[in-house]
Structure 1
Amino acid sequence: MSFSIASAQQDSLAITSENASKKELKEKDYEPYNALAPAKAAFYSAILPGLGQAYNGSYWKIPIAYGGLGTGVYFYLKNDKDYDRYRDAYKNRLAGRPDEFTVDGKQRITTDGLIRAQELFQKNKEISILVTVGVYILNIIDANVEAHLRQFNVDEDLSVKPGLDYDAFSGKTNYGLTLNYRF
């Protein structure tokens, strides 16, 4: 009777230590990511683009975020400069002064062409603003989603592996995929 009590105690200790080691391992793997991590990562990215990615440890995404934001700002400034050029030429033409598109008294671009060019560059400026805001929002969403996904336990308990099954009766081999899930 004392033997069964000792083995029962030993079993409970073995299970407890196994559970504790798995629990410690999970806590150790996910220690920097607590329940507030997604909100923190999104907040950091909202304050300074790329900071949420740095918080998550995805440093390779920071140049992509700044590349997208920089591209949007570059095209906004370029279209704004061209819009101002055509707007000034249009105003000068209406006032009867020479403009940069009139050479030796000949108009290289018609007045209607100047109006269409202004409309085109105005539309391109607005698209550049939308692209820049979109990249900024995607930066925040990416930081938030990645922080959420880092909290999930990814280990060998859930796996997809190729499988071979040898049928002893027919002598044929069957191929397939198996989805293994262990509790």
Structure 2
Amino acid sequence: MKSRIFILVAFCFCFQFSALAQEKKENKAEKQKLEEGLIIEGELDTKDAIDPLSPARAAFYSAVLPGLGHIHLKQYWKVPVIYAGLGAGTYFYINNHNDYKRYREAYKRRLAGFQDDEFYGSVTDKGLEEAQKTLKRNKELSLLVTAGVYVLNIVWANVDAHLLQFNVDENLTFMPHYKLNEFDNSGDVGLTVNFKF
């Protein structure tokens, strides 16, 4: 009986000694890493403070001058995209408007009895009416697309300003991990959720 107690005490002592040695070794390694500057825990992050008015400011700037909200957010590559959309809509509006005026003038001259318009012989009176309807619809659609791109520019700047303030740092992590179990040499699969204050 005494030998069993002795073996149990010796085992516990050895296990405790081994654990203390391992802990001391880990503390020494951690201290060395801290001294080398590899791992610094508890350091305060010097992140920019969240500005709750930034999305409203970006939207206002984009409303005043399209693309200015993205310049404010330092997303310069989006400005040419916005102006390409606005330019395309404006181009098609002006083109359809000029064609509409040409067909309208030709139609008015035909109703007045003249036969010297540029479409005489190739387009009938009914064709002039249909062309006017089509060009008017296309002109209105181009205006609608241009206004839509303008509104989209404002919404895009607002959403981007919101997303820039979204917290995606390492203190908020959700990642799978694989750990080797040291006691029985088997692998453990798990999921880690970190939330540090």
Q: Which residue of 2 aligns with 1:52?
A: 69
Matched length: 153
SS in 1 for 2:77: helix
Could you give the per-residue CA deviations for residues 26-72 of structure 1, whole angstroms, max 9, x where no partner exists?
A: xx4324x5121111111100000000000011111000010100010
Q: Which residue of 2 aligns with 1:30?
A: 48
Q: Which residue of 2 aligns with 1:6?
A: none
Give the drift of 1:175.
8.1
Give the drift of 1:146.
1.1
Distance in 1, matches of 2:194 and 2:56, equals 31
1:45 aligned partner, one-letter code? S
Give the drift of 1:79.
0.3
Specify whether residues 58 and 90 from structure 1 end up closer, same or farther in structure 2 by C-alpha distance, changes over 3 A only. same
SS in 1 for 2:193: strand
Q: Which residue of 1 aligns with 2:11?
A: none
How does 1:6-155 map onto structure 2 within 5 Å?
18=42, 21-22=43-44, 25=45, 28-31=46-49, 34-97=51-114, 98-102=116-120, 107-155=121-169
Give the drift of 1:159.
3.9
Specify whether residues 165 and 116 from structure 1 end up closer, same or farther in structure 2 by C-alpha distance, changes over 3 A only. farther
Find the structure with the greater CA-based Rg. Answer: 2
Pairwise CA RMSD of aligned residues? 2.7
Question: Does the CA contact (< 8 Å) of 2:62 and 2:70 recur in 1?
Answer: yes
Specify whether residues 174 and 119 from structure 1 end up closer, same or farther in structure 2 by C-alpha distance, changes over 3 A only. farther
Give the drift of 1:151.
1.5
Counterpart check, 1:182 vs 2:188: no
Instruction: Kindly indicate whether structure 1 or structure 2 has the higher relative contact order, using CA contacts under 8 Å at least 6 residues apart.
Output: 1
2:128 aligned partner, one-letter code? L
Specify whether residues 115 and 158 from structure 1 end up closer, same or farther in structure 2 by C-alpha distance, changes over 3 A only. same
Distance in 2, matches of 1:166 and 1:115, equals 81
Specify whether residues 110 and 150 from structure 1 end up closer, same or farther in structure 2 by C-alpha distance, changes over 3 A only. same
Question: Does the CA contact (< 8 Å) of 2:90 and 2:142 recur in 1?
Answer: yes
Give the drift of 1:180.
3.4
Distance in 2, matches of 1:166 and 1:96, equals 95
Q: Which residue of 2 aligns with 1:158?
A: 172
Specify whether residues 116 and 175 from structure 1 end up closer, same or farther in structure 2 by C-alpha distance, changes over 3 A only. farther
Could you give the per-residue CA deviations for residues 138-177 of structure 1, whole angstroms, max 9, x where no partner exists?
A: 111111111111112211233454545779xxx998989x
TM-score (norm 2): 0.68
Distance in 2, matches of 1:90 and 1:127, equals 23
